[in-house]
């Protein structure tokens, strides 16, 4: 899906970018195996958090489990099993967005009346 349903472009988490940079910096220097392990674990944890947030955002914009799974490279069933706990939050986000950006009632037929129904004028 594309267009307005996909929403604004999203930036990668600053914490993840910072951890990746530390990882790259430490890979070029001598370090103990435990230091390397700790850095890799930190990057993995942050990447998982960002991935979960992106799945939540995709689901809140109406993307199917098949679409999510295809982007991540896993089966639809695996994606659903892994992130199904996010659906109530995604549904709440979608409902909240709909409430704020769609008029509660149909506007009157006059163009002047339409202005008072636009979300920007609330």
CA 1/CA 61 separation, integer angstroms = 9
91-113 exposure pattern, b = at least 16 Cβ within 10 A, e = fewer: eebeeeeeeeeeeeeeeeeeeee
pLDDT on residue 98? 75
> Mind listing the pLDDT tens digit for each residue in 6-20?
555 556 678 778 878
Give the phi and the psi of residue 24 in degrees, each rounded to 5: -65, -40
Tokens of 15: 């914490």
Q: How many CB atoms lie within 10 A of CB 69?
A: 19
Tokens of 118: 């636009």
Q: 61 falls in which pLDDT band (50, 70, 90)?
A: very high
Residue 84 has pLDDT above 60, yes or no: yes
């Amino acid at each position: 899906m594309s267009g307005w349903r996909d929403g604004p472009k999203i930036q990668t988490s600053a914490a993840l970018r910072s951890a990746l940079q530390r990882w790259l910096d430490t890979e070029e220097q001598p370090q103990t195996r435990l230091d390397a392990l700790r850095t890799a674990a930190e990057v993995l944890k942050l990447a998982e958090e960002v991935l979960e947030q992106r799945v939540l955002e995709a689901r809140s914009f109406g993307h199917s489990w098949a679409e999510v799974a295809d982007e991540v490279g896993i089966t639809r069933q695996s994606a659903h099993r892994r992130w199904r706990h996010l659906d109530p939050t995604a549904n709440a986000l979608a409902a909240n967005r709909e409430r704020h950006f769609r008029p509660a009632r149909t506007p009157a037929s006059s163009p002047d009346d339409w202005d008072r129904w636009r979300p920007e004028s609330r």
